[in-house]
């Protein structure tokens, strides 16, 4: 969850990201404090999640689904060569994609036995 705060006057431009408690900042003999609180959820904000789905070859039901949202939307859109604004669909994971995803996530891909897809879901 994101936090909002006032910048500490002794460290210009630095926003504190602690939630929700009184925070004291002391630097070079100066002291200041600010209250921190969770940022409100904006109406209409879309949350996007990304998952790798594994299907046994020839089957139409996924055997496993692994969340890869932590990789980041821009990295995944670049990997699948799709503009971020249009990156909402299901994408087949090809050998080149699998190698990069394995390095980023630690997942193992057995492309001889399974078909893999990246599923993009927006809530």
CA 12 – CA 92 distance, rounded (Å):
46
Longest C-alpha distance within the chain, in Å?
Answer: 69
Can you give the pTM of this predicted structure? 0.63
Flag whether pLDDT at 117 surpasses 80.
yes
Tell me where in the chain the CATH 3.10.50.20 domain(s) lie: 48-122
Q: What is the dihedral of CA 74, 79, 83, 87, to 10 degrees?
A: -80
* CATH for the stretch 48-122: 3.10.50.20
Flag whether pLDDT at 23 surpasses 70.
no
Position 5 scores a pLDDT of 38
Three-state DSSP state, 89: coil
Flag whether pLDDT at 61 surpasses 70.
yes
- Of residues 62 and 11, the one with the higher pLDDT is 62
* Model pLDDT for residues 71-100, shown as the tens digit of each residue: 999 999 999 999 988 888 899 999 999 999
For 113, other C-beta atoms within 10 Å of its C-beta total 9
Strands 90-92 and 114-122: antiparallel
């Amino acid at each position: 969850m994101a936090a909002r705060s006032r910048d500490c006057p002794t460290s210009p431009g630095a926003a504190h990201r602690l939630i929700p408690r009184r925070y004291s900042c002391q630097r070079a003999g100066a002291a200041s404090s600010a209250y921190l609180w969770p940022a409100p959820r904006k109406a209409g904000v879309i949350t996007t999640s990304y998952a790798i789905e594994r299907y046994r070859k020839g089957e139409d039901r996924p055997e496993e689904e692994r969340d890869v949202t932590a990789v980041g939307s821009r990295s995944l859109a670049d990997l699948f060569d799709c503009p971020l604004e249009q990156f909402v669909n299901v994408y087949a994971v090809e050998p080149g994609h699998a190698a990069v995803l394995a390095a980023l996530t630690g997942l193992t891909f057995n492309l001889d036995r399974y078909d893999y897809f990246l599923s993009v879901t927006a809530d």
